[in-house]
Structure 1
Amino acid sequence: MEAIASSIGLLAAAGTALGWAQGRERSARRARRHLSLDAVRQGIALMTVMQQHRGMAAALLSGDTGFAVRLADKQREVEGRLAELGACFARVPALAAGGRRLEAIRAAWTQLCQEVRGYTAEQSFAVHTALVQQVLYLLGDIGERGGLLEARSPAVAALAEVLLLRLPLLAESIGQARALGTGFAAQGRCGAVGRIRLSLLERRIGECLAGLGVVLDSPSLVAPAQRCRQQVWHLSASIEADLIGVERITLAPDAYFRCATEAIDACLALWQAAEQVTRRALP
């Protein structure tokens, strides 16, 4: 009897230890996901200011000198965002491997700042866009290494896809349209090739917006989703009427830049709302 009691006691102790270990693992996984969401948020902020720098550089290099001071201020803001993202990586050991991509982005950004005034508007657009693409890849790295894509719940998995892929792609497509359109507005003309490029971007923006899907029908996302759609539709109408549909562009570069920025801001507001829903849904 004593042997049986002893065995039962050992089994109970083992079960308690196993339960404690499993609980600790779940807690660590949950903390890693939340910290990774913090890093994704900082990555989105970095992408946003790089996009703004691209648009300002497009206007400046196309002849609008009013963007010169704003460009220098934006460069300092990007450097601050890079530092904040690096601090997020330091808090999450699982993201360490992605640090190499972050350092490559930092080095490429330093080179861009040193050379941007010597670029043509087209060269600036290409270099900026390649750099923003690396930030998009970095967001995917964070999501994968941080466990955000491991959710068993279909709803959480769909939200993670919206946060890591769909909304960033929509914002980047609008960002490209902002940079090109601001440059064309500064030049006062678009040209046949420019019309084609803007038309393709406008189509991609529409596809990205449609791709957000039924995930955004969540009651807490309906209002920011509708606001996002309205601002994106407003931008598309401006692209059609003020850039593509006229021979001589009379819309001021700063006015178009603001219109596109309002659309991006609406995307970011939707992203922030979706992030909060995701945080609450994480097991």
Structure 2
Amino acid sequence: MIVNPTIAGAFTVAACFAATKQWTVSLRDKRRIKHAISQLIRLKELIDLSQQHRGTSSAVCAGNASLTGKLTFLQQEIDRFIAASENTDMQKLPQWLSFVDHWPRLKKQVQQRKLTSHQVIRQHNAMIEGQLSLFDDLSRLYNLHHFMLDNITRLSELCLDTLRAAEILGQMRAVGSTLCARGHGGGAETMMLSFQRLTANSRIAELLRETAGIRNKELIAILAGQNDRIERDTDLLLHTIDQQVLIEGAITLSADDYFKTATRAIDTVLNVFSLIINYAADNHAKFN
């Protein structure tokens, strides 16, 4: 069969155009995913700062004046984060608008010592819950809920579950630091810490099951040993709470020592977040 050269040339041009278009779309998608992941990493930094501010401000309001300098530093860091986030996609989302409206008022109330430690913790809990919702909203804005690490594990869900596990530990850090700064138990904080202890147990256990169920061989190798570290550091925190905080009589454990023990457990969980999100950032071209 004789093929018309003009038609053959047209097909060749069309094929090249289609291939170029596909490559351009693919490159655009890769850049979009990389940008999306970088935004989630930045948002995690805000959540971390807010959690630290909660624990520090609640301890200061309970009478631990030694943390005043750290409190000021954290407030400045959060202000810098907000200023640096102008003209980003986060600005478009309702949860971000709620946060930037709430934060200046909360900061001022803490600076003026107008809130009890219990009120400080409750306001921070609500603010951080909004930030976690913002993480989910941002993931959906970038369609990252379609990003699969294996045939059953969604990147956004695993990252959010990791952040929520760290958050319950962060709440325990704030409440326990308050009790240690006060030097005795009782009241709403003791009841709150007892409840949080039970919640942490189940949430950490669920996270461990989730990470143990990952079927991505590369990611399994990267996460090797992390579950053991999470168990070790969270068990130490829970033991410290049981033996030195939720007790009758005076609490002799310093707020600083308790804060460090809780922070170690939180950092171990957040390290899993970092390993997962960094793996996704480096390997997103392989997926989807």
| TM-score, normalised relative to structure 2 | 0.87
Aligned: 1:211 with 2:206: yes
1:70-127 deviations in Å (ceiling 9; x for gaps): 211110111223334x16x63xx6x6633x5323312211111111221111211111
Q: How does 1:1-283 map to 2 (within 5 A)?
A: 4-84=4-84, 86=85, 90=88, 97-98=92-93, 100-116=94-110, 117-152=113-148, 154=150, 157-163=153-159, 165-191=160-186, 193-212=188-207, 213-216=209-212, 218-282=220-284, 283=287
Q: Percent identity?
A: 22
User: Cα–Cα, structure 1 residues 65 and 211, in superposed 2: closer, same or farther, change >3 Å?
Assistant: same
- Whichever structure has more helix as a proportion of its residues is 1
Structure 1 runs (4+) deviating above 6 angstroms are none
Amino acid at match of 1:20: T
Specify the SS of the correspondent of 2:196.
Answer: helix
Counterpart residue identity of residue 203, structure 1: L
- Measure, in 2, the Cα distance between the counterparts of 1:276 and 1:106: 28
Alignment partners' CA distance in 2, 1:246 and 1:11: 84
Q: How much has 1:61 moved relative to structure 2? A: 1.1
Structure 1 alignment gaps of length 5 or more: none
User: Kindly tell me: are residues 74 and 97 of structure 1, through their superposed partners in 2, closer, same or farther at Cα, counting changes over 3 Å?
Assistant: closer
**Cα offsets for 1:168-215 (capped at 9, x unmatched):** 101110111111111111122222644432122112212221222243
Alpha carbons of 1:202 and 1:43: their partners in 2 closer, same or farther (altered >3 Å)? same
Amino acid at match of 2:48: T
Is contact 1:156–1:281 with CA below 8 Å preserved after alignment?
A: no
**Segment of structure 1 superposing worse, 239-248 or 55-64:** 239-248
Unpaired runs of 5+ in structure 2?
A: 215-219
Q: Structure 2: how far apart are the matches of 1:71 and 1:5?
A: 76
Conservation of the 8 A alpha-carbon contact between 2:52 and 2:74: yes
Counterpart of 1:125, as a letter, is I
Cα distance, 1:230 vs structure 2: 1.5
1:167 counterpart letter in structure 2: T
| Contact map agreement 2:99 2:130 (CA 8 A) in 1 | yes
AA partner of residue 105 (structure 2): Q
| 8 Å Cα contact 1:177/1:198 also seen in 2 | yes
